[in-house]
Structure 1
């Protein structure tokens, strides 16, 4: 197939649905940024996808509510979901397939055979282990056997959502089905985990397109999470953080502090112990579309030791406490600034400026290398 023709067809289909070329590029750029890649990587992802190089995706459902799939589809811009589905070749998905029964099972086998070693396996939902996995069966096969079968020939494996990453709500006490996450079943294999209830669709798209474009996966932490999405806590980038630093807290729902946008820590916010990029990458392209953005404390849905274990409105310890003297105290001392403080301030500004110069040089060098490659 002619790549240019395939690319024109893809763009023509999207434009017919009201999605411009600019929108298409924007989605790819956001996806690249979600996994820490520069803007030019997003451009390459767009070129690759428009050229017909769409990764084959086999999407398995186990113990879950299908919320991760729904979050992908329920975007504010009607065309974004269509863009995402046009960027990948979704060869098996029980929720979105019109077919059923033997037809859909045959489609999965064909996709495995045609893309052996290259397809992306997306796992949504927890895997029950009790009594040999009889509590979740599709097509006469239990979840454990199906997962091992499809994962054996996958090029990349992604556990989407908290249920697939570590068991999620299905593994909450008393965990009657002995549910667990995909990494616990696929021991010895690299599994990219994207916990969240639901996970952000752009984190998924970024990982899939990076694999399809560069044949690489983003840098992962010890739990298999992409560092650019999960290295920082909600607390570090929370828009209510200045109120925390200044000691301004909502005491109860609906009080003056809550209405004024004060910090929700005393209402049980789990942001200080929750690693995710929700505050930086809102859901459905709607600013503020996440729990804290609508006035509810973070519930810690990405953390195995917090989600569905710690009561929602129970306060927790701050994982990365404020360093003394770095942020203003609750009742700051407005005494005269001394020479020592001025000197320290000068050193801090100098360090920031120096870091900016180094970063600028690094970006310039990377840009020049990219231009040479082109």
Structure 2
């Protein structure tokens, strides 16, 4: 029931007070808040009712929903479902047809101005929106109807934030981001293909605690998750700085875990928390497991990141302060100088020792 507070739900589920406090502390850290925010989060989750959520699926492939159901960092693996009152989600709900739509309409009426709308997938303008219809309504009409009573809208995934694959040339359905349709509500963009599920958890907790959406970047993304590049926290960053690059996926560098920039990694231009939060309960993320970052969180990524396994022609605005293609040569040159210097020093030392013995 949405009337339950988060703490009441947690206790009924057998979650200890200690683990509840750990979750509050972890969430504060995840959002980039200092320790003074922890008591506020605790109080909010102890006193506020669970937040109703309507989850729409428009033009998409469901990879975002697959990520959503695998949130691992909260108290338990299914917390993201029980923590919120997930009232409508076509992919998961048992109800269908009139029964399902009646639940959505009831939530919109009973919690007008209080529910969160999560939207996965792009809207479509082509031929009046007929390329995506749900329950007899075009996706655009459904989106506008649900957004009207929402407290805020979370555009979840790159399809929702920048139209992604559907929006790539030639874009036959005239796919557009959610921002192009919803104009009168706070919109939080959570890009990625798919995005990280914990971003929604953190965003909702922030909203419940402070009564407002979290601080956003200039592109409308939660700053706590999208203010740093994947490159900045990458486990292979040391190899980049040393000029050690994988040239082919089966070469010696690949076996040693060297930097993947030259085989297509777009980490230097991708702003996301993948390298910090990671996936599958913090086990790994694409670069760590041996696959280049595709910068799927960036606008128009499907067009700008292809061919996927060809490296960037240049890194915009000299963002990392060096040219990777020349870096390896510089590193090799520096190593060569070091070898020569070491050889000279060794020769001088040996000659000195020899003269000392002769004397």
TM-score band (shorter)?
0.7 to 0.9
SS in 1 for 2:291: coil
1:226 Cα deviation after fit: 1.2
Judging changes above 3 Å, is the alpha-carbon distance between structure 1 residues 7 and 216 closer, same or farther for their aligned structure 2 residues?
closer
Counterpart position of 2:155 = 159
Q: What is the CA distance between 1:44 and its match in structure 2?
A: 3.9
The answer for the alignment partner of 2:350 in structure 1 is none
Where does residue 349 of structure 2 map in the other structure? none
Alignment match, 2:275: 279
Deviation digits for residues 73-98 of structure 1 (CA, Å, limit 9, x no counterpart):
23568973321212111121112211
Match of 1:214 in 2: 210
CA distance in 2, matches of 1:89, 1:44: 21
Of 282, 288, 291, the residue aligned with 2:286 is: 291
Q: Does 1:10 align with 2:9?
A: yes
2:357 aligned residue = none
In the TM superposition, what is the alpha-carbon distance from 1:131 to its structure 2 partner?
A: 0.5
Does the residue aligned with 1:123 lie in a helix, a strand or coil?
A: strand
Partner residue of 1:91 out of 87, 92, 113: 87
Question: CA 1:312 to 1:285, structure 2 compared with 1: closer, same or farther past 3 Å?
Answer: same
Q: Are 1:198 and 2:198 an aligned pair?
A: no
Q: Does 1:65 align with 2:61?
A: yes
Say which of 290, 302, 307 aligns to 1:307: 302
Counterparts of 1:8 and 1:223, CA distance in 2: 34
Could you state the TM-score of these two structures normalised by the residue count of structure 2? 0.83
1:233 lines up with 2:229 in the alignment: yes
CA contact (8 A) 2:5 2:49 kept: no
Residues 68 and 38 of structure 1: is their aligned pair in 2 closer, same or farther, counting only changes over 3 Å? Answer: farther
Which of 71, 74, 86 aligns to 2:70? It is 74
CA distance in 2, matches of 1:249, 1:48: 48
Cα deviation, 1:117-170, whole Å, max 9, x if unaligned, reads 111111111111100110111111111111111111211111011111111122
Q: Are 2:170 and 1:171 aligned?
A: no
Residue 55 (1) aligns with residue 54 (2): no
Number of the residue aligned with 2:356: none
CA offsets per residue over residues 182-234 of structure 1, 9 Å max, x none? 11212354310000111111111111111122111111122211122111111
**Which range moves more in the overlay, 6-15 or 134-143?**
6-15
RMSD (Å) for aligned C-alpha atoms? 2.7
Q: Residue 315 of structure 2 corresponds to which residue in structure 1? A: 318
Calculate the TM-score normalised by the size of structure 1. 0.80
Q: Give the stretch that moved more between structures: 72-81 or 181-190.
A: 72-81
| CA distance in 2: counterparts of 1:209 and 1:245, whole angstroms | 38
1:183 aligns with 2:184: no
2:168 touches 2:300 (CA, 8 Å); kept in 1?
A: no
- Unpaired runs of 5+ in structure 1? 337-374
Deviations 1:59-116 (A, max 9, x none): 1110112222211223568973321212111121112211111111111111111111
| Structure 1 residue 25 displacement after superposition | 4.1
Q: Could you say which structure has the larger radius of gyration?
A: 2
Within 5 A, what are the aligned runs for 1:134-145?
134-145=130-141
The alpha-carbon deviation at position 283 of structure 1 amounts to 1.4
| C-alpha spacing 1:90/1:271, structure 2 compared with 1 (3 Å) | same
Q: Equivalent of 1:114, from 105, 110, 113?
A: 110
C-alpha contact (below 8 Å) 1:190/1:224 kept by paired residues: no
Q: Any conservation in 1 of the 2:20–2:75 contact (CA below 8 Å)?
A: no
Aligned pairs, how many?
Answer: 328
Q: 1:76 to 1:206 in 2, by over 3 A?
A: closer
- Listed one character per residue, the Cα deviations across residues 241-265 of structure 1 (whole Å, up to 9, x for unaligned) are 1111110001110211111111000
